[in-house]
């Protein structure tokens, strides 16, 4: 029996299959192209390698190609006989994700990690904002995310993937200095880890270091393949910083070549969240946004997320629909929102509809309902600043600029300082 790079036994007798699987896992964890090809090589070397089949299916799901993962998932289940208890648990948990199940899966995964803490694909599925915790819709999920990564920390040591992931848990919980130490250790080991560069970008954002963040990420992304799963979202960070720096030309260039549905190679979830967020924040900064842009992303949201099912996507889809004048799209989300954060989805969708109608008092009333814990919808603090900015803008448009500035200075004093000044004026 072979072992992966984390010491987990693998049910394959083929060294070549094991080596290919390890390469695929490295690419998957670093969000760099090549994962599927490596996993396919592993399957070619050992057609009964269940976890390699499963990894293909999971990789496709993460990249937004979940339907094409059905065949490799079926192959993984067909090879399940004789798997170790760790692999059986791994298959069950990832299988639930592939089947779209969520209830009880995090508890199952957490129990699995207590027994097999270095089962890295299960840890990866739990941690972060696009994860079982991130999309779980539960109160206090940022604290839970940090608690889990802290529990796992002794088992990973100086592993570059874990240090990067732990850094993100730390900064989302407000622990910026520990996060800085963790991310620098990670990038010193693997500077081409796209997830690491992403987490470092978030640190720059939380510290309010626009110039340094923009310079770092523009340089880093030059050598990152456009097909990389993080290319769209890293580009969103660059576009936001360009906007903050007053470089609207660069913002539009990045949006049109890397985030727009017609050109982006990113997962649908990134496109449907990043594009509306950028357009709205551009409008708040006084940039004119052509109605056609809102129409295009509203149509994309309708095509790719017709049925409300994921709070973070639904909230951004509602924003796109509202700003495009698609009242039917907003109504669908309000009426059919479901899941543990459905109340937040409804109130935010209604808030965006009120924004489109320029009913600022009603906007404030709806946004207030989500201000207590909007982390429940998913997404990072940087992404959810959309909500903070929307509230500040609504207050300012009611002649309450001092309240708007105080809101942002109290809730996001460093990261949102420049935005608070812009809205106040």
Residue with tokens 């996507």: 313
- At 57-67, the pLDDT tens digits run 999 999 988 78
Residue with tokens 């649908």: 268
N-to-C CA span, the chain: 66
Same domain, 256 and 402: yes
- Whether residue 398 is contained in a domain is answered as yes
**205 in a domain, yes or no?**
no
- The predicted model gives 264-282 an average pLDDT of 97
143 inside domain: no
Distance CA 47, CA 28 (A): 20
| pLDDT tens-digit series, residues 63-97 | 988 789 999 999 999 999 999 999 999 999 999 99
Closest residue by Cα to residue 352 from 325, 373, 371: 325
**Predicted TM-score (pTM) of this structure:** 0.95
Expressed as residue numbers, the domain containing 102 is 2-106
Verify that 94 and 239 share a domain, yes or no.
no
Residue with the two structure tokens 């594009």: 275
Q: Is residue 293 part of a domain?
A: yes
Q: What CA–CA distance (Å, rounded) separates 90 from 116? A: 10
pLDDT digits 0-9 by tens, 391-414: 999 999 999 999 998 999 888 877
Residue 425: its pLDDT value, please? 43
Please choose, from the candidates 369, 370, 357, the residue with its C-alpha nearest in 3D space to the C-alpha of residue 397. 357
Distance CA 172, CA 170 (A): 6
> In terms of domains, do 231 and 99 share one?
no
Alpha helices, H only, 285-400: 291-304, 311-324, 327-336, 342-356, 360-368, 381-396
The model's pLDDT over 142-186, given as tens digits with 9 standing for 90+, comes to: 999 999 999 999 999 999 999 999 999 999 999 999 999 999 999
Tally of domains within the chain: 2
The three-state secondary structure class of 2 is strand
Element (H, E) at 241: helix 231-244
Neighbours of 321 (CB within 10 A): 28
Give the pLDDT score at 419.
53
φ/ψ of residue 101, rounded to 5: -85, 150
Residue 169 · residue 146 · CB < 8 Å: yes
Domain boundary among 106, 141, 163: 106
d(CA 165, CA 188): 14
Question: In which region does residue 68 sit, left (phi positive, over 0), alpha (psi from -120 to 50) or beta (all else)?
Answer: alpha
Where among 82, 106, 130 does a domain terminate?
A: 106
Q: The domain that contains 8 carries what CATH number?
A: 1.25.40
List b or e across 158-181, with b for residues whose CB sees 16 or more CB atoms inside 10 angstroms.
ebbbbbbbbbbbbbbbeeeeebbe
Mean pLDDT throughout 220-244? 97
221 three-state secondary structure: helix
Residue where a domain terminates, one of 106, 135, 161: 106
Q: How many residues can be counted in the chain?
A: 425
Query: Given pLDDT bands bounded at 50, 70 and 90, which one contains residue 317?
Result: very high
70 falls within a domain? yes
Task: Flag whether 122 is in a domain.
Answer: no
Around Cβ 117, how many Cβ atoms within 10 Å?
Answer: 17
Q: At what angle do helices 268-284 and 311-324 cross, to 10 degrees?
A: 50
Q: Which residue has the tokens 């924003």?
A: 319
Are 50 and 84 spatial neighbours (Cβ–Cβ below 8 Å)?
A: no
Shared-domain flag, residues 102 and 244: no
Residue 275 forms part of a structural domain:
yes
Alpha-carbon span 218 to 393, nearest angstrom: 29
Task: Examine the domain organization and report whether 227 and 102 are in the same domain.
Answer: no
In a domain, 298, yes or no: yes
């Amino acid at each position: 029996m072979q072992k992966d790079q984390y010491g987990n036994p693998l049910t394959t007798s083929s060294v070549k299959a094991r080596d290919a699987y390890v390469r695929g896992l490295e690419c998957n964890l670093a969000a760099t192209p090549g994962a599927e090809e490596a996993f396919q090589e592993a399957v070619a070397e050992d057609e009964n390698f269940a976890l390699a089949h499963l990894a293909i299916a999971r990789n496709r799901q993460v990249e937004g190609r979940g339907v094409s993962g059905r065949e490799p998932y079926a192959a993984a289940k067909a090879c399940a006989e004789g798997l170790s208890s760790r692999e059986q648990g791994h298959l069950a948990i990832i299988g639930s994700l592939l089947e779209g199940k969520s209830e009880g899966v995090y508890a199952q995964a957490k129990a699995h990690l207590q027994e097999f803490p270095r089962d890295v694909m299960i840890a990866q599925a739990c941690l972060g904002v696009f994860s079982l915790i991130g999309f779980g819709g539960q109160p206090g999920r940022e604290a839970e995310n940090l608690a889990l990564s802290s529990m796992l920390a002794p088992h990973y040591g100086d592993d570059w993937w874990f240090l990067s992931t732990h850094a993100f848990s730390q900064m989302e919980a407000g622990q910026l200095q520990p996060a800085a130490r963790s991310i620098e250790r990670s990038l010193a080991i693997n500077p081409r880890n796209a997830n690491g560069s992403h987490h470092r970008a978030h640190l720059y954002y939380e510290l309010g270091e626009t110039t340094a963040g923009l310079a770092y990420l523009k340089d880093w992304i030059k050598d990152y393949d456009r097909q990389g799963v993080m290319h769209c979202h890293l580009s969103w960070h660059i576009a936001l910083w360009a906007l903050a720096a007053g470089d609207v030309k660069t913002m539009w260039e990045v949006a049109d070549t890397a985030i727009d549905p017609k050109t982006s190679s990113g997962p649908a979830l990134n496109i449907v969240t990043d594009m509306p967020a950028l357009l709205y924040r551009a409008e708040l900064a006084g940039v004119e946004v052509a109605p056609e842009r809102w129409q295009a992303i509203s149509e994309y949201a309708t095509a790719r997320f017709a049925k409300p099912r994921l709070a973070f996507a639904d909230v951004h889809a509602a924003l796109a629909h509202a700003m495009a004048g698609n009242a039917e799209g907003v109504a669908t989300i309000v009426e059919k929102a479901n899941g543990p954060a459905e109340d937040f989805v409804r109130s935010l969708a209604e808030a965006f509809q009120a924004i489109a109608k320029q009913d600022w008092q009603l906007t404030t009333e709806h946004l207030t309902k989500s201000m207590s814990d909007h982390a429940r919808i998913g997404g990072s603090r940087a992404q959810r600043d959309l909500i903070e900015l929307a509230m500040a803008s609504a207050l300012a448009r009611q002649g309450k600029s001092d309240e708007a500035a105080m809101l942002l200075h109290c809730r996001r004093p460093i990261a949102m300082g420049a935005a608070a000044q812009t809205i106040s004026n």
